[in-house]
Amino acid sequence: MAKDLVLDIYRITKTFPAEEKFGLTPQINRAAISVASNIAEGSARSSRKDQAHFSQLSCGSLMELACQLEISSKLGFINEPEWQSVSEKTEAIAAKLSRLRSSQLSGLRSGQ
């Protein structure tokens, strides 16, 4: 799901104004990639503490992405259907990350 969001983000940011080439466009792309990359890196960690750390990093990047997308929408760089679609995806990913991190942390509390 996070990788699909990255693809959507890249499609959307291709349409941003040229003057955003060094502004919002690369920041949004990096934040989207960071979400997926931190999930992947965390899944390769052996300890639940490390896994939870990378889930938290991913969540932080997701919130950064959501903020940047909202700004882009208010600036008119993202149309309403695109905004609705990426908003729904970010909310769904946030919910899954929250559950994942809770599961990872509950394993720590139970001594696993």
Residues of the chain below pLDDT 50: none
- pLDDT score, position 77: 97
Per the CB < 8 A criterion, the answer to whether 59 and 40 are in contact is no
Structural domain span for residue 10: 2-109
Q: How many domains does the chain have?
A: 1
The rounded distance, in Å, linking the Cα atoms of 33 and 42 is 14
* Per-residue exposure over 40-78, b if at least 16 CB sit within 10 Å of its own CB, e if not: eebeeeeebeebbbbbbbbbebbebbbebbeebbeeebb
28-59: per-residue pLDDT in tens? 999 999 999 999 999 999 999 999 999 999 99
- pLDDT score, position 3: 96
**CATH code assigned at 8:** 1.20.1440.60
